């Protein structure tokens, strides 16, 4: 029953590895807590509201500040700024509701 | 041991290629007998063997094995009977390539809950009795014809069945190996196993120690030659 | 148990017998799981980071809308808002965008709102005539501390600034395209109306009061749009869900193709396999045993691929910064922050990946397995 | 195990000593373990509701909301057998709009509003000048000073709402 | 609609399960119409082989239902952030009434499909397959539930909009809520505790007696009792077990215990309860099958095993729920 034993070992090792990675992730998060603290400080002191992930257009740069009209404004002949714009939904959330 | 009454088997009922394999066959085989089903190919030997071995369900008739009517039994229970009662030796050895002799021989035991240790001992014993114990870890495609045949027999014996069914066992062997095979079967018969061989090879059905020769033609039994069983060899 | 163990053993032999086919299957499967889990890990990590970081975002941002567009807000609103109970401070923000024709990048220009010293900056925060820049800007313009930086919009609107601070690389996700000026510089550079600001930042003491204040602002100043902190957080929650979902839709195509392949592999029962199952059934295997065998075969494939894929996905995202995705996500933005996501993972992610990959695969193998399992045992005798 | 226990005791003893020594009737910051003696809830996740009673010997009791503090105050025999109302130095509650600790006597409590504390309906502490606005914004029913709150009001409140509910 | 990976996974899974159960019942109809155990025709052989497919399909369906129940709640829990006012799965469920029905039906489907597996197991151990017809009729009964459950689930998630303002568990499961859930939470703790422990102490000896004695009445009694125990336990979880886990006297939510913060204790809690109740229920349900001669022995053997599992499940459930009551310093004012 060699193959089955080897296979079960492989599975066990992979599961252990996965658990190891899970622990590693917690460890890393703990280790980088200062970084998060620093970022929170940045957000607080510079009064930031958005991540600098996509700088193609206003509505992708400042997702939470954008309104429903923004996708139309930037470049008339283009519907969108690919790829960022195709992944980011125009922000319905803040406009409606209240 | 096995009683067959008025068995018929039709393949592909209702289809254009409907085929009558055997018609109205009755037969009774007692415990410890050694029987040959003789006849040209297409005469229904294999079908009859399949019916006896619970692999083929007859269209009509009754099959009684160890006092139990098996025709109506669902497949799940047929398999259990088959596993306990029969060992099969096939024309083409039908070993599974890519795995060792040991694994091939053990295969019938895999779906059971027999402990590993018991299984191990049994394989050793069976292979030893067939004198191919030294090849236990060899991959089966590396074996010679005779060795393959022995492994096939070992696999048939691993369940310690009451009955061995062999379908043209000598078809792919030369006469020397065929003789060897017959000797082995003879020995097993002497040990009390019921043996049924389907064959049209003279080497097989000319043997004096056969209890019965059933001759088949066009799906019918045309002749049954009965002989007194010989005393078991010591 | 013994029975399953032994059938597993045989299943492994049987998989090994068709080594190349199954290895190919394993690799494709692993690749798909790896890509899928990378997407999930990356989006979850960014989302989690947004939630952890923007918890300190302003409680309320008040924008003015004019004809549906964002417009400058009069500073006279400050006092109105300040008079509402529960409002601690109201601070005007001055910010905007600057297209740098030299590099083709878009910068975000912000005025300093406080003078606190920061951890994630080398150098210091700027005073009048100085600026602090994000890592991305610094790299694009090849800047170092004390270098001069020139901005121009029109003949009157130009600035020559000294770089006194550069945000550290690990803050890039927030600061990559930022250029921080002093307030007066921003007003001068953008030629802003003295009585107006870009928007107002409102601090509120009690969290339970935010919604009430927002409502009041909306009521008393109908041309404004208040954006609460919880809305910012929810935006990020939604965006990355959408993002994760978007990628999932793309991957669904790939998954489908893969399952069709798997189905094809399983249905196209070769004569050899049929023979093998015939033998097993002839020597005493029952239909359900063969089904168990097939179940183990697919389980072995799917579990090893799933585990390997998830592990590789983790390593890909958190050790190599999602190298595969960068070219896809980058598009034509010049300033794209390097990904160094925090390894936030959630068991839920892994459960979902399991449901998306293993469940459909197992389901797609049921009928083919059954078709194989019902093979007549006597087929081997008849051939 | 025992070693750990001894260490903990030691730390606790030292803590108490320092607390006693450095006693002022200043409002305290809750630590991670401070629990409300009335309901058993850990109080630090709800800083904007925090209420506390500081005793003359420097010990204190933290509550997850003014309602529990009032329950405690009006039934000290049940919750704290060693102390009576006489031993109390100061009572602090957290003002709703400023989220700063304020002495309970200097403030108005509003009941029946739509603002929910961690324990549901609350006596919301609002500074006197903002009571009117609060009553309008949050549909408050009754405003009352600390001294006027009777033990009966605390039980009444619940049945009141039950009557309304069904 | 919210395009969330978890929802997508549920959609795919639900679609597969619906397809599988529909196919299974289609095959089942044919088996019902043509089944003749006494025939040895090829037709009968084909039908017999179909039964393997049907039972395999149902096995997968059952496993899926078990797993997806947890995935469903887990997903609800993880998307609660999107809704204003939601703090856990309850909030997400409240966003749209259908969610609750989908949850109830999912639980029912889980019980039905596992009963089917149990009955199938018994039937397969008798040579004459005495339950074939009953089994496939039951299958035809289960399929609509599965389809309906999938339909509700899809309708529920499609109907969710991110800006729905919902109410959370804090307001639903509070004494002051006007809804049924509120009155559940407002149940007097002491009385509920007495009822809970009384019913547990009644049920456990009953199970033990059922294992040792062959009396049929006892089996029925156990089944009925365990059924009652299920509801009592659910009420107890809302009324007092949950608050001991949260250490919050006003927090009665039955879903928050599934969260990370409480060490996922809800998963073992609910799974032990479900296991315990299911196995004593099913031993009662199969009791009449003892009358069929070919099944008597198997039924008895299976009942013993099932009741033993049930006892273990219920003991584990009671232990888990009692643990914080005894060992935490948290005290509730009764």
Secondary structure (DSSP) of E97-134: THHHHHHHHHHHHHHHHHHHHHHHHHHHTSTT-TTHHH
B 169-228 residues with CB below 8 A of C?
none
Nearest chain B residue to C289, by CA: B111
Annotated domain spans of chain E: 1-167, 169-334
Residues in chain B: 234
Contact E182 D161 (CB under 8 A): no
B/D Cβ contact: 3+ pairs below 8 Å: no
Contact B57 E127 (CB under 8 A): no
Average pLDDT, chain B: 86
Q: How far is C11 from chain B (nearest CA, A)?
A: 11
Q: What is the pLDDT of residues D51-104, one digit of tens each?
A: 999 988 888 888 888 888 888 888 888 788 888 888 888 899 999 998 889 998
Residues in chain E: 334
pLDDT above 60 (res C210)? yes
Contact A91 C63 (CB under 8 A): no
Contact D133 C85 (CB under 8 A): yes
A/D Cβ contact: 3+ pairs below 8 Å: no
> How far does chain E reach from its first CA to its final CA, in angstroms?
44
| CATH number of the domain residue C187 falls in | 2.40.40
Q: What is the pLDDT of residues C110-130, one digit of tens each?
A: 998 887 788 888 888 898 889
D/C Cβ contact: 3+ pairs below 8 Å: yes
Q: How far is E183 from chain D (nearest CA, A)?
A: 10
- List residues bridging with D120 in a β-sheet: D117
Average pLDDT, chain C: 86
Contact B105, B144 (CB under 8 A): no
E84: which chain A residues are within 8 Å (Cβ-Cβ)?
A: 97
pLDDT above 60 (res E280)? yes
Q: What is the pLDDT of residues B81-121, one digit of tens each?
A: 888 889 988 888 889 988 899 999 999 999 888 898 999 99
Of B143, E127, B50, E121, which is closest to residue C281 (Cα–Cα)?
B50
Q: In terms of pLDDT, which residue wins out, C346 or C80?
A: C80
Q: Closest to B55 (Cβ–Cβ): which among C276, C288, C377?
A: C377
pLDDT category at D24 given cuts 50, 70, 90 is low
Q: Which residues are within 8 A (CB) of C101 and not within 5 positions of it... i.e. 6 or more apart?
A: none
Average pLDDT, chain D: 77
Contact E187, E332 (CB under 8 A): no
Residue C126: domain span: 95-191
Q: Subunits that touch chain D (at least 3 Cβ pairs < 8 angstroms)?
A: C, E
Mean pLDDT of all residues in E93-104: 85
B118 SS3 class? helix
CA C338 to chain centre: 13
- List residues bridging with B20 in a β-sheet: B10
Q: What is the pLDDT of residues E111-141, one digit of tens each?
A: 898 999 999 999 988 888 888 888 999 999 9
Q: Subunits that touch chain E (at least 3 Cβ pairs < 8 angstroms)?
A: A, B, C, D
B56: which chain C residues are within 8 Å (Cβ-Cβ)?
A: 378
Q: Closest to E331 (Cβ–Cβ): which among D40, D120, D162?
A: D40
Contact A32, C342 (CB under 8 A): yes
Contact C209 D133 (CB under 8 A): no
Residue A2's pLDDT is 83
D99: which chain C residues are within 8 Å (Cβ-Cβ)?
A: 205-206
Q: What is the pLDDT of residues A15-56, one digit of tens each?
A: 999 999 999 999 999 998 888 999 999 999 888 999 888 887
pLDDT above 70 (res E333)? no
For Cα atoms E27, E29, E31, give the angle at the middle one, nearest 5 degrees: 70
Q: In terms of pLDDT, which residue wins out, C269 or C42?
A: C42
Record the tokens describing residue C156, joined without a space: 């009157």
Contact B100, C294 (CB under 8 A): no
Kindly report the pTM of this predicted structure. Answer: 0.85
Euclidean distance between CA atoms C350 and C348, whole angstroms: 5
Q: What is the pLDDT of residues B170-199, one digit of tens each?
A: 887 888 888 888 888 888 888 888 999 988
Mean pLDDT of all residues in C357-375: 87
C86: which chain D residues are within 8 Å (Cβ-Cβ)?
A: 96-97
pLDDT above 50 (res A95)? no
Residue keyed to tokens 């309708």: E155
pLDDT category at C7 given cuts 50, 70, 90 is very high
SS3 content of chain D, % helix, strand, coil (to 5): 40, 20, 35
Q: In terms of pLDDT, which residue wins out, D10 or C100?
A: C100
Residue B46 at interface with chain C, using a CB cutoff of 8 Å: yes
A50 SS3 class? coil
Residues C258 and C375 both lie in one domain: yes
Contact E42 B74 (CB under 8 A): no
Q: Where are the alpha helices (DSSP H) in C221-269?
A: 229-267
Contact D39, E249 (CB under 8 A): yes
C129 SS3 class? coil
Contact C328, A83 (CB under 8 A): yes
Q: In terms of pLDDT, which residue wins out, D76 or C61?
A: C61
Contact D41 E171 (CB under 8 A): no
pLDDT above 80 (res C330)? no
Q: How far is C173 from chain B (nearest CA, A)?
A: 55
- List residues bridging with C61 in a β-sheet: C201, C227
Q: How far is C382 from chain A (nearest CA, A)?
A: 33
Contact E249 D42 (CB under 8 A): no
Euclidean distance between CA atoms D39 and C291, whole angstroms: 57
C 316-355 residues with CB below 8 A of A?
318, 328-329, 331-337, 342-345, 350
Contact C359 E10 (CB under 8 A): no
Mean pLDDT of all residues in E26-46: 85
Q: What is the pLDDT of residues C182-205, one digit of tens each?
A: 999 999 899 898 899 999 999 998
- List residues bridging with C145 in a β-sheet: none
Contact E41 B74 (CB under 8 A): no
Q: Closest to D41 (Cβ–Cβ): which among E174, E175, E249?
A: E249
Q: Where are the alpha helices (DSSP H) in chain C?
A: 2-17, 19-53, 77-82, 135-140, 172-175, 183-190, 210-220, 229-267, 271-282, 287-314, 326-330, 347-373, 379-382
Residue D161's pLDDT is 36
Q: How many CA atoms lie within 13 A of C313 on its CB side?
A: 29
Residue D19's pLDDT is 46
C154 SS3 class? coil
Q: In terms of pLDDT, which residue wins out, D121 or E73?
A: E73
Euclidean distance between CA atoms E51 and E28, whole angstroms: 8
For Cα atoms D80, D83, D85, give the angle at the middle one, nearest 5 degrees: 105
Mean pLDDT of all residues in D96-121: 85
Q: How far is C255 from chain A (nearest CA, A)?
A: 20
Total domains in the fold of chain D: 1
Record the tokens describing residue C42, joined without a space: 């990356």
Q: How many CA atoms lie within 13 A of E117 on its CB side?
A: 17
Residue B12 at interface with chain C, using a CB cutoff of 8 Å: no
Residue D100: domain span: 25-164
Residue B39's pLDDT is 85
Among C191, C226, C258, residue at a domain's last position? C191
Nearest chain E residue to D120, by CA: E250
Record the tokens describing residue C19, joined without a space: 């080594």
Contact C69 A15 (CB under 8 A): no
Mean pLDDT of all residues in E300-312: 93
Q: Where are the alpha helices (DSSP H) in B86-174?
A: 101-106, 116-129, 145-157
Record the tokens describing residue C229, joined without a space: 């902190």
Q: How far is B20 from chain E (nearest CA, A)?
A: 14
ipTM value greater than 0.90: no
Least confident of B53-67, C259-273, E313-327: C259-273
Residue keyed to tokens 């409502």: C215
Average pLDDT, chain A: 77
Record the tokens describing residue B149, joined without a space: 């045949």
Residue D48 at interface with chain C, using a CB cutoff of 8 Å: yes
Q: Closest to B107 (Cβ–Cβ): which among C280, C288, C378?
A: C280
Contact C245 E74 (CB under 8 A): no
Contact D33, E329 (CB under 8 A): no
pLDDT above 90 (res A69)? no
D6 domain-assigned: no
Euclidean distance between CA atoms D30 and D7, whole angstroms: 22
Q: How far is E23 from chain C (nearest CA, A)?
A: 11
Residues C27 and C120 both lie in one domain: no
Q: How far is C242 from chain E (nearest CA, A)?
A: 6
Least confident of C96-105, D10-19, E111-120, E151-160: D10-19
Nearest chain A residue to E165, by CA: A97
Q: Which residues are within 8 A (CB) of E313 and not within 5 positions of it... i.e. 6 or more apart?
A: E272, E273, E274, E275, E276, E277, E279
Contact A93, C235 (CB under 8 A): yes
Record the tokens describing residue E2, joined without a space: 């919210």
- Cα-Cα-Cα-Cα torsion C254, C256, C260, C265, nearest 10 degrees, comes to 60
Q: In terms of pLDDT, which residue wins out, B23 or A76?
A: B23
Record the tokens describing residue E143, joined without a space: 């399929």
* Helix E98-124 vs helix E296-327: crossing angle, to nearest 10: 140
pLDDT above 80 (res A94)? no
Contact B77 E49 (CB under 8 A): no
* Helix E98-124 vs helix E42-78: crossing angle, to nearest 10: 150
C220 domain-assigned: no
Least confident of B202-211, C56-65, E7-16: B202-211
E16: which chain C residues are within 8 Å (Cβ-Cβ)?
A: 359-360, 363
What percent of chain C has pLDDT above 90? 34
What percent of chain C has pLDDT above 70? 94
Q: Which residues are within 8 A (CB) of E87 and not within 5 positions of it... i.e. 6 or more apart?
A: E80, E168, E169, E170, E256
Pairing of strands B34-38, B212-217: parallel
Record the tokens describing residue C293, joined without a space: 């065998």
Mean pLDDT of all residues in B206-211: 78
pLDDT above 60 (res E178)? no
Q: Where are the alpha helices (DSSP H) in chain E?
A: 5-34, 42-78, 89-94, 98-124, 132-159, 169-172, 180-185, 189-212, 216-236, 242-246, 266-285, 296-327
pLDDT category at E8 given cuts 50, 70, 90 is confident
- List residues bridging with D126 in a β-sheet: D108
pLDDT category at D20 given cuts 50, 70, 90 is very low
D38 SS3 class? coil
Q: Closest to C212 (Cβ–Cβ): which among D99, D130, D137?
A: D137
E163: which chain A residues are within 8 Å (Cβ-Cβ)?
A: 92-93, 96-97
D161: which chain E residues are within 8 Å (Cβ-Cβ)?
A: 176
Euclidean distance between CA atoms C13 and C26, whole angstroms: 16
Annotated domain spans of chain A: 1-48, 58-95
Residue E174's pLDDT is 57
Q: How far is C240 from chain E (nearest CA, A)?
A: 9
Q: In terms of pLDDT, which residue wins out, C49 or D23?
A: C49
Euclidean distance between CA atoms C51 and B121, whole angstroms: 64
Q: In terms of pLDDT, which residue wins out, C91 or C236?
A: C91
Euclidean distance between CA atoms E99 and E73, whole angstroms: 10
C72 domain-assigned: no
Contact D42 E332 (CB under 8 A): no
Q: Which residues are within 8 A (CB) of D139 and not within 5 positions of it... i.e. 6 or more apart?
A: D112, D113, D114
pLDDT above 80 (res E171)? no
pLDDT category at D164 given cuts 50, 70, 90 is very low
C90 domain-assigned: no
Mean pLDDT of all residues in E85-100: 77
- Exposure string of D121-131, with b = 16+ CB inside 10 Å and e = fewer, is bbbbbbbeebb
Contact C352 E9 (CB under 8 A): yes
CA distances from B101 to B95, C4, C275, D51, D131 (A): 9, 21, 18, 80, 92
D80 domain-assigned: yes
Considering A69-83, B54-68, E222-236, the range whose residues carry the highest mean pLDDT is: E222-236
- List residues bridging with B157 in a β-sheet: none
pLDDT above 60 (res E170)? no
Contact D56, D143 (CB under 8 A): no
Contact C85 D48 (CB under 8 A): no
Residue D163's pLDDT is 30
Total domains in the fold of chain C: 2
């Amino acid at each position: 029953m060699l193959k089955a034993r080897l296979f079960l070992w492989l599975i066990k090792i992979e599961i252990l590895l996965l658990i190891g990675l899970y622990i590693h992730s917690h460890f890393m998060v703990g280790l980088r807590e200062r970084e998060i603290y620093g970022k929170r400080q940045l957000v607080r002191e510079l009064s930031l509201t958005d991540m600098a992930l996509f700088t193609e257009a206003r509505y992708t740069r400042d997702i939470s500040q954008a309104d429903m009209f923004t996708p139309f404004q930037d470049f008339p002949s283009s519907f969108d700024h690919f790829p960022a714009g195709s992944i980011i939904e125009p922000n319905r959330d803040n406009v409606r509701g209240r | 041991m096995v009683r067959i009454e008025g068995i018929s088997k039709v393949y592909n009922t209702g289809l254009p290629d409907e085929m009558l394999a055997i018609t109205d066959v009755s037969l009774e085989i007692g415990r410890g007998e050694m029987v040959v089903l003789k006849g040209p190919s297409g005469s229904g030997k294999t079908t009859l063997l399949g019916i006896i071995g619970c692999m083929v369900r007859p269209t009509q008739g009754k099959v009684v094995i160890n006092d139990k009517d098996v025709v109506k039994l669902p497949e799940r229970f047929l398999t259990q009977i088959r596993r306990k009662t029969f060992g099969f030796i096939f024309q083409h050895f039908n070993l599974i390539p890519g795995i060792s002799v040991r694994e091939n021989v053990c295969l019938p035991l895999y779906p059971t809950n027999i402990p590993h240790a018991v299984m191990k001992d049994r394989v050793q014993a069976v292979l030893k009795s067939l004198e191919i114990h030294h090849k236990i870890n060899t991959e089966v495609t590396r074996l010679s014809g005779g060795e393959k045949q022995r492994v096939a027999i070992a696999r048939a014996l691993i369940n310690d069945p009451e009955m061995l069914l062999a379908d043209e066992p000598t078809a792919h062997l030369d006469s020397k190996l065929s003789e060897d095979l017959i000797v082995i079967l003879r020995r097993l018969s002497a040990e009390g196993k019921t043996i049924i061989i389907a064959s049209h090879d003279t080497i097989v059905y000319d043997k004096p120690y056969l209890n019965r020769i059933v001759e088949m033609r066009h799906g019918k039994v045309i002749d049954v030659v009965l002989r007194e069983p010989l005393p078991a060899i010591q | 148990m013994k029975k399953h163990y032994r059938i597993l053993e045989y299943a492994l032999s049987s998989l090994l017998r068709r080594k190349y086919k199954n290895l190919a299957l394993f690799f494709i499967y692993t690749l798909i799981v790896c890509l899928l889990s990378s997407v999930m890990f990356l989006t979850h990590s960014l989302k989690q980071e947004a939630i952890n970081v923007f918890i300190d975002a302003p409680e309320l941002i008040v924008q003015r809308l004019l004809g549906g567009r964002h417009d400058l807000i009069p500073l006279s609103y400050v006092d109105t808002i300040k008079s509402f109970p529960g409002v601690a401070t109201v601070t005007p923000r001055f910010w905007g965008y600057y297209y740098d024709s030299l590099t083709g990048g878009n910068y975000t220009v912000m005025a300093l709102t406080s003078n606190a010293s920061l951890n994630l900056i080398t150098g210091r925060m700027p005073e009048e005539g100085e600026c602090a820049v994000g890592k991305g800007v610094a790299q694009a313009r090849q800047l170092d501390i004390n270098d001069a930086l020139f901005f121009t919009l029109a003949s009157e609107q130009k600035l020559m600034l000294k770089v006194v601070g550069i945000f550290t690389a690990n803050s890039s996700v927030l600061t990559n395209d930022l250029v921080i000026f002093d307030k007066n510089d921003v007003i001068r550079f953008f030629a802003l109306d003295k009585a107006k600001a870009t928007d107002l930042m409102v601090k509120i003491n009690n969290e339970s009061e935010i919604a009430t204040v927002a409502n009041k602002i909306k009521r008393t100043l109908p041309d404004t749009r208040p954006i609460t902190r919880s809305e910012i957080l929810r935006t990020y929650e939604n965006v990355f869900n959408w993002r994760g979902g978007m990628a999932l839709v793309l991957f669904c195509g790939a998954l489908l193709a893969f399952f069709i392949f798997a189905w094809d592999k399983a249905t196209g029962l070769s004569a050899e396999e049929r023979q093998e199952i015939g033998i097993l059934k002839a020597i005493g295997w029952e239909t359900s045993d063969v089904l168990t065998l097939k179940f183990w075969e697919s389980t072995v494939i799917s579990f090893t691929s799933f585990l390997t894929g998830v592990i590789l996905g983790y390593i890909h995202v958190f050790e190599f910064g999602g190298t595969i995705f960068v070219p896809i996500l980058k598009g034509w933005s010049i300033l794209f922050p390097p990904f160094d996501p925090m390894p936030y993972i959630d068991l839920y992610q892994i459960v979902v990946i399991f449901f998306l990959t293993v469940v459909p695969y197992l389901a797609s193998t049921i009928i083919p397995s059954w078709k194989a399992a019902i093979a007549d045992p006597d087929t081997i005798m008849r051939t | 195990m025992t070693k750990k226990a001894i260490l903990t005791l030691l730390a606790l003893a030292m803590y108490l000593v320092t607390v006693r020594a450095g006693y002022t009737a200043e409002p305290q910051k809750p630590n991670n373990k401070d629990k409300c003696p009335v309901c058993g809830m850990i109080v630090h996740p709800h800083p904007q509701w925090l209420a506390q009673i500081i005793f003359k010997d420097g010990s204190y009791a933290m509550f997850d909301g003014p309602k529990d503090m009032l329950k405690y105050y009006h039934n000290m025999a049940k919750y704290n057998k060693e102390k009576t109302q006489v031993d109390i130095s100061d009572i602090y509650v957290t003002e709703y709009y400023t989220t700063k600790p304020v002495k309970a006597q200097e403030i108005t409590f509003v009941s029946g509003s739509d603002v929910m504390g961690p324990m549901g309906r609350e006596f919301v502490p609002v500074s006197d000048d903002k009571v009117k606005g609060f009553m309008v914004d949050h549909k408050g029913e009754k405003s009352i000073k600390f001294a006027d709150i009777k033990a009966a009001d605390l039980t009444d409140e619940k049945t009141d709402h039950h009557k309304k509910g069904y | 609609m919210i395009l969330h990976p978890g929802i997508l996974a549920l959609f795919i899974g639900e679609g597969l399960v619906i397809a599988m159960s529909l196919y299974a019942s289609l095959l089942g109809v044919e088996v019902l119409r043509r089944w003749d155990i006494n025939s040895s025709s090829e037709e009968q052989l084909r039908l017999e082989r179909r039964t393997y497919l049907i039972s395999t399909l149902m096995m997968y369906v059952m496993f899926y239902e078990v797993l997806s129940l947890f995935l469903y709640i887990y997903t609800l829990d993880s998307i609660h952030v999107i809704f204003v006012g939601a703090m856990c799965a309850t909030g997400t469920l409240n966003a749209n009434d259908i969610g609750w029905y989908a949850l109830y039906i999912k639980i029912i489907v889980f019980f039905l499909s596992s009963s089917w597996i149990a009955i199938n197991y018994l039937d397969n151990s008798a040579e004459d397959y005495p339950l074939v017809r009953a089994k496939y009729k039951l299958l035809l009964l289960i399929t609509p539930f599965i389809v309906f459950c999938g339909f509700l689930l899809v309708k529920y998630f499609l109907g969710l909009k991110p800006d729905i303002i919902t109410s959370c568990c804090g307001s639903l499961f509070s004494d002051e809520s006007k809804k049924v859930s509120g009155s559940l939470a407002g149940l007097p703790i002491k009385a509920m505790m007495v009822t809970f422990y009384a019913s547990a102490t009644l049920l456990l000896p009953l199970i033990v007696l059922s294992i040792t004695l062959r009396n049929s009445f006892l089996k029925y009694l156990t089944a009925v009792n365990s059924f009652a125990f299920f509801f009592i336990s659910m009420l107890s979880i809302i009324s007092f077990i949950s608050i001991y886990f949260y250490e919050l006297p006003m927090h009665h939510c039955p879903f928050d215990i599934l969260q990370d913060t409480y060490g996922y204790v809800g998963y073992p809690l609910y799974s032990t309860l479900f296991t315990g109740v299911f196995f004593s229920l099913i031993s009662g349900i199969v009791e009449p099958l003892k009358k069929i001669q070919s099944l008597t022995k198997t039924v008895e053997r299976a009942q013993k095993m099932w009741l033993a599992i049930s006892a273990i499940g219920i003991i584990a459930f009671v232990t888990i729920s009692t643990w914080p009551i005894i060992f935490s310093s948290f005290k509730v004012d009764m």
